[in-house]
């Protein structure tokens, strides 16, 4: 039995675990991060096929101009030099194709308004009001502006208790415009009458300010954070699945690994999905009511992704993201029945080098409910059988047929492809049913669907996309909230802003 003493053990090295590891080791805590996969990063992982690197869960990021929120956080996290970026088209970083009509989201608030006014000249006031409200909502959160926290850390209750569709309907009566404003909902797997306004507002405000691809893959973020953690004296164990969180009568004492090793620490942070974390805890310290509440929470939908390698110089690089909806009602994307034709998708070229001219690779992501792969639920990666491979191939061929409608001739540009299903995500990140963004926030049950970083065990905390919000910004801010349990939130904000002030 290996015995070891750490201040804090962090379970999982997704973005949340790595950012916690960075903040805490920078502040002198002796941390150990434990990851089940060989590769660190969770959704920041990449994989290589046919000589090309593919992202799995971080395709584009926002607010990376000097002074903007993610740039300030990246500076603090020492990521600026290690994560090369390429700016998406400022005249249209997101192109939406809805019922055969195309619309563009342009960078910068004024530019954004002008871009949409081309299609909606009589709704200028509505679009202005929409943009104004986005900024107001984003400004209202001290945390998302790195302001010192006094009475509240999060967001005004009104924005938690109204749905995105009600919010959008309150700024415009134009049905077509309502759908265009909701048109990037796959970025948060929005659900009509459920997803709270603040999720939409924070994400759109984030991307409208500036939108970027990571050159060469999102694993650069994970690798850089891991390097910094080690430089601060932290340790990282990969290929080491946690199989049990061991407790005594009052607290967690240690973790058990798949290889049988037992490691102790004073405190523990789980970056593993809360429902999976509970499965690792066999203790009466977690009351049945808490277990039931967490386990009953629904998760966002999962996805099927087609990873494409293009023939050399076959198709020009598209410097924008393409959201496709066959119908005018974008919310119907959620209603697709198992096996029914694909009605909506997100298509993105990957950026391998600065000023890219030709596309090397692309990803096409469509929603897929877990029930579509349910019959292979008991299988593991690489051992799911030929009928699963046939299912993947048939789905991929259908995807390419649908893609052809928007990009005629694209099939002939494809050299090879790979695919992933909800099972792939479930098995690589231990997210329930391969859910894209974890637990669904519901404006009808705002407090019940908000998971705290604190658990019922005093020295066990949570981090990651389920405790604040998902995505690069939501998870990074959430990690700061978790670390605040050890350092105080204002100290962390001071440190981040101090770093910005110090280096400007
Ligand atoms: C298809 C897709 C596209 C996305 N695109 C974007 C995007 O373009 N921009 C953006 O900002 N966000 C995007 N996101 C969201 C973003 O990737 C996630 O919100 C974020 O990376 C989640 O980080 P996390 O720390 O919560 O958890 P995860 O990344 O899920 O990490 C959890 C970690 O815990 C490990 N783990 C699990 N169980 C165990 C165990 N028992 N023992 C040890 N380790 C364990 C896992 O292996 C994993 O490394 C996308 C997500 C998906 C799925």
Q: Kindly state the DSSP code that residue 369 receives in the 8-state scheme.
A: -
The terminus-to-terminus CA distance of the chain in angstroms comes to: 49
The residue whose C-alpha atom lies closest to atom 51 belonging to ligand 1 is: 57
Q: Please give the tally of structural domains in the chain.
A: 3
Q: Kindly state the DSSP code that residue 363 receives in the 8-state scheme.
A: E
Cα Rg of the chain, angstroms: 22
The residue whose C-alpha atom lies closest to atom 34 belonging to ligand 1 is: 12
Residue 348 beta carbon below 6 angstroms from any ligand 1 atom: no
Residue 226 beta carbon below 6 angstroms from any ligand 1 atom: no
| Distance of alpha carbon 21 from alpha carbon 10, whole angstroms | 7
Lowest mean pLDDT among 23-32, 75-84, 273-282, 444-453: 444-453
**Which among 33, 40, 57, 257 is the best mutation to test ligand 1's pocket, defined by most ligand atoms within 8 Å of the CB?**
57
| Same domain flag for 293 and 306 | no
| Whether residue 156 has pLDDT greater than 80 | no
Matching residue, tokens 């030099």? 81
In a domain, 99, yes or no: no
**Which among 222, 263, 305, 429 is the best mutation to test ligand 1's pocket, defined by most ligand atoms within 8 Å of the CB?**
429
* pLDDT given at position 60: 97
In a domain, 91, yes or no: no
Q: Which residues contact 175 (CB under 8 A, 6 or more apart)?
A: 328
Q: Which residues contact 353 (CB under 8 A, 6 or more apart)?
A: 215, 216
Contact 273, 466 (CB under 8 A): yes
Structure tokens at 238: 């990969």
- Structure confidence by residue, pLDDT tens digits, 400-438: 999 999 999 999 999 999 999 999 999 999 999 999 999
In a domain, 419, yes or no: yes
The residue whose C-alpha atom lies closest to atom 21 belonging to ligand 1 is: 43
| Same domain flag for 123 and 199 | yes
| Distance of alpha carbon 370 from alpha carbon 303, whole angstroms | 9
In a domain, 104, yes or no: no
Residue 63 beta carbon below 6 angstroms from any ligand 1 atom: no
- Structure confidence by residue, pLDDT tens digits, 182-206: 999 999 999 999 999 999 999 999 9
Residue 58 beta carbon below 6 angstroms from any ligand 1 atom: yes
* pLDDT given at position 503: 52
| Distance of alpha carbon 458 from alpha carbon 391, whole angstroms | 46
Residue 8, CA distances (Å) to 238, 252, 278, 280, 490 in order? 16, 11, 19, 17, 21
Contact 197, 162 (CB under 8 A): yes
161: left (phi over 0), alpha (psi -120 to 50) or beta: alpha
Lowest mean pLDDT among 112-121, 329-338, 355-364, 456-465: 329-338
Residue 365 beta carbon below 6 angstroms from any ligand 1 atom: yes
The residue whose C-alpha atom lies closest to atom 48 belonging to ligand 1 is: 42
- Structure confidence by residue, pLDDT tens digits, 32-54: 999 999 999 999 999 999 999 99
In a domain, 318, yes or no: yes
Contact 270, 460 (CB under 8 A): yes
| Distance of alpha carbon 162 from alpha carbon 86, whole angstroms | 35
- Structure confidence by residue, pLDDT tens digits, 207-261: 999 999 999 999 999 999 999 999 999 999 999 999 999 999 999 999 999 999 9
| Same domain flag for 305 and 432 | yes
Which residue(s) pair with 361 in the sheet? 309
Q: Which of 420, 436, 452 is the last residue of a domain?
A: 436
* pLDDT given at position 309: 98
What is the pTM assigned to this prediction?
0.96
| Same domain flag for 426 and 330 | yes
Which residue(s) pair with 348 in the sheet? 321, 363
* pLDDT given at position 448: 87
Percent of the chain with pLDDT over 70: 97
The DSSP annotation for 275-334 comes to: HHHHHTB--TTS-HHHHHHHHT--B--EEEEEEEEEPTTSSBPP-SEEEEESSS-GGGGG
Task: Report CA(249)–ligand 1 centroid distance (Å).
Answer: 32
| Same domain flag for 315 and 431 | yes
Percent of the chain with pLDDT over 90: 89
In a domain, 447, yes or no: yes
Q: Tell me what the mean pLDDT of segment 67-93 comes to.
A: 98
| Distance of alpha carbon 184 from alpha carbon 324, whole angstroms | 9
- Structure confidence by residue, pLDDT tens digits, 292-315: 999 999 999 999 999 999 999 999
In a domain, 322, yes or no: yes
Residue 14 beta carbon below 6 angstroms from any ligand 1 atom: yes
| Whether residue 55 has pLDDT greater than 50 | yes
Other C-beta atoms within 10 Å of 37: how many? 18
Task: Report CA(306)–ligand 1 centroid distance (Å).
Answer: 18
| Same domain flag for 21 and 80 | yes
| Same domain flag for 427 and 463 | no
* pLDDT given at position 2: 45
**Backbone φ and ψ of 195, nearest 5°:** -60, 125
* pLDDT given at position 160: 81
| Same domain flag for 139 and 279 | no
Mean pLDDT of the chain: 95
| Whether residue 504 has pLDDT greater than 50 | no
| Distance of alpha carbon 158 from alpha carbon 487, whole angstroms | 30
In a domain, 415, yes or no: yes
Q: Which of 412, 436, 460 is the last residue of a domain?
A: 436
Contact 186, 203 (CB under 8 A): no
| Same domain flag for 360 and 307 | yes
The residue whose C-alpha atom lies closest to atom 15 belonging to ligand 1 is: 471
| Same domain flag for 315 and 402 | yes
| Same domain flag for 335 and 420 | yes
CA 376 to chain CA centroid, nearest Å: 25
Q: Dihedral through CA 169, CA 173, CA 174, CA 175, nearest 10? A: 50
Matching residue, tokens 């992982």? 45
Q: Print the domain residue range for 332.
A: 301-436
| Same domain flag for 378 and 464 | no
**Backbone φ and ψ of 204, nearest 5°:** -70, -40
Matching residue, tokens 């200028």? 124
| Whether residue 1 has pLDDT greater than 50 | no
* pLDDT given at position 426: 96
| Whether residue 149 has pLDDT greater than 90 | no
* pLDDT given at position 239: 97
Task: Report CA(43)–ligand 1 centroid distance (Å).
Answer: 3
Task: Report CA(42)–ligand 1 centroid distance (Å).
Answer: 4
* pLDDT given at position 154: 66
Q: Which of 436, 463, 482 is the last residue of a domain?
A: 436
In 3-state terms the chain splits into helix, strand, coil percentages (rounded to 5) of 40, 20, 40
Task: Report CA(44)–ligand 1 centroid distance (Å).
Answer: 7
Task: Report CA(15)–ligand 1 centroid distance (Å).
Answer: 7
| Whether residue 501 has pLDDT greater than 70 | no
Q: Tell me what the mean pLDDT of segment 344-352 comes to.
A: 97
């Amino acid at each position: 039995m290996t015995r070891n003493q750490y201040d804090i053990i962090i379970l999982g090295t997704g973005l949340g675990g790595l950012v916690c590891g960075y903040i805490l080791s920078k502040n002198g805590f002796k941390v150990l991060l434990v990851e089940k996969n060989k590769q660190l990063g969770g959704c920041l992982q990449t994989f290589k096929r046919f000589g090309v690197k593919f992202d799995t869960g971080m395709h584009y990021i926002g607010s990376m101009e000097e002074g903007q929120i993610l740039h300030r956080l990246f500076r603090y996290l020492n990521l600026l030099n290690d994560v090369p970026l390429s700016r998406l088209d400022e005249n249209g970083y997101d192109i939406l194709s809805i019922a055969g009509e195309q619309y563009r989201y342009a960078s910068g608030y004024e530019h954004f308004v002008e871009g949409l006014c081309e299609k909606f000249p009589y709704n200028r006031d509505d679009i202005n009001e929409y943009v104004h409200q986005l900024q107001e909502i984003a400004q209202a959160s001290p945390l998302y502006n790195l302001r010192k926290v006094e009475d509240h850390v999060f967001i005004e209750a009104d924005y938690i208790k109204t749905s995105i569709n009600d919010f959008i309907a309150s700024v415009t009566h134009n049905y077509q415009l309502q759908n265009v404003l909701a048109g990037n909902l796959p970025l948060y797997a929005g659900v009509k009458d459920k997803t709270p306004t603040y999720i939409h507002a924070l994400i759109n405000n984030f991307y409208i300010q500036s939108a970027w691809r990571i050159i060469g893959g999102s694993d650069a973020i994970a690798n850089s954070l891991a390097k910094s953690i080690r430089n601060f004296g932290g340790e990282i164990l990969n290929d080491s699945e946690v199989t049990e969180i061991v407790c005594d009568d009052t607290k967690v004492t240690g973790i058990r690994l798949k290889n049988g090793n037992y490691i102790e620490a004073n405190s523990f942070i789980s970056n593993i999905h809360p429902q999976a974390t509970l499965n690792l805890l066999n203790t009466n310290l977690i009351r049945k009511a808490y277990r039931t509440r967490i386990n009953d929470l629904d998760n966002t939908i999962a996805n099927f992704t087609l990873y494409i390698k293009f023939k050399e110089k076959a198709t020009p690089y598209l410097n924008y993201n393409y959201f496709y909806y066959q119908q005018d009602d974008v919310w119907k994307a959620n209603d697709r029945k198992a096996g029914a034709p694909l009605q909506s998708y997100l298509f993105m070229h990957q950026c391998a080098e600065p000023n890219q001219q030709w596309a090397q690779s692309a990803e096409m992501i469509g929603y897929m409910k877990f029930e579509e792969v349910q019959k292979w639920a008991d299988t593991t990666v690489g051992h799911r059988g030929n009928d699963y491979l046939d299912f993947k191939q048939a789905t991929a061929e259908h995807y390419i047929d649908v893609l052809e409608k928007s990009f005629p001739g694209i099939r002939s540009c494809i050299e090879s492809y790979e695919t992933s299903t909800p099972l792939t995500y479930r098995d690589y990140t231990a997210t329930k049913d391969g859910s894209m963004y974890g637990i669904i926030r519901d404006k009808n049950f705002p407090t019940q669907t908000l998971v705290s970083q604190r658990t019922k065990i005093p020295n066990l905390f949570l981090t990651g996309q389920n405790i604040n919000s998902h995505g690069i910004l939501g998870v990074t801010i959430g990690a700061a909230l978790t670390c605040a349990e050890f350092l105080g939130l204002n100290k962390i904000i001071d440190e981040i802003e101090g770093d910005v002030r110090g280096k400007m």
